[in-house]
Amino acid sequence: MSSNFDDIEKKDGNSLEDNKDVLNSPLVMNVISLRNMVLYPGSVYPIFIGRRKSVAVLKKIEKEKATVFFVFQKSADSHILEMDDVYKYGVIAKVIQIIERYDHSLQVLVEVVAKAELLSFDLVDNVYSAKLQPVVQDIVDVESDCKAKVIEKELMERFQQISVYDSRVPNETVSEIAKLKD
């Protein structure tokens, strides 16, 4: 099952922000549930996949070069998924690399591209398929948002405090981050 998410992202060479009207229609995508993890848009993650259904999804995606929807389980003990067993929101990710391990599990490198709301999912041919709605988030204007200013100031102060005690943070990094504010 190939998703139409890639087509939306590339339409007319515009970004997702420019295609908000297209994103109003639900997408259908392959699903993998994750335990004890949280993924955020705009980040790249290595993930280890071992469940047979999830491995089957990834092998199918590897051939199609498609995206996948990661949904997060409420309980790590759950093996059969129902709507009540997973959180309402998940993420859409591009699979960058898949490496098969000696125990037949997979090590997968993914880039999370968007957050999405899970509308429904079904098990078809031993693979989960979901109907989902991408969430387009507005960017907060820090200059006009008072709460964001307070949070920004506190984050900067805490980062500077942590960097004093953590030798892995170079002094140049601290000074460059301090300059971002100016």
H-helix or E-strand spanning residue 114: strand 106-124
pLDDT digits (tens, 9 = 90+) for 76-95: 777 667 777 888 999 999 98
Residue 140, in any domain of the structure: no
For residue 98, what is the domain's CATH number? 2.30.130.40
The count of domains in the chain is: 2
**Same-domain check for residues 72 and 39:** yes
pLDDT digits (tens, 9 = 90+) for 10-49: 444 444 444 455 456 778 888 888 888 888 888 899 999 8
Range of the domain at 25: 5-135
Rounded Cα–Cα distance for residues 123 and 171 (Å): 52
**Same-domain check for residues 74 and 26:** yes
Is the entire prediction scored with pTM above 0.85? no
Nearest to 34 by CA among 108, 126, 135: 108
**Same-domain check for residues 83 and 11:** yes
Rounded Cα–Cα distance for residues 159 and 175 (Å): 11
Terminal Cα-to-Cα distance of the chain (whole angstroms): 48
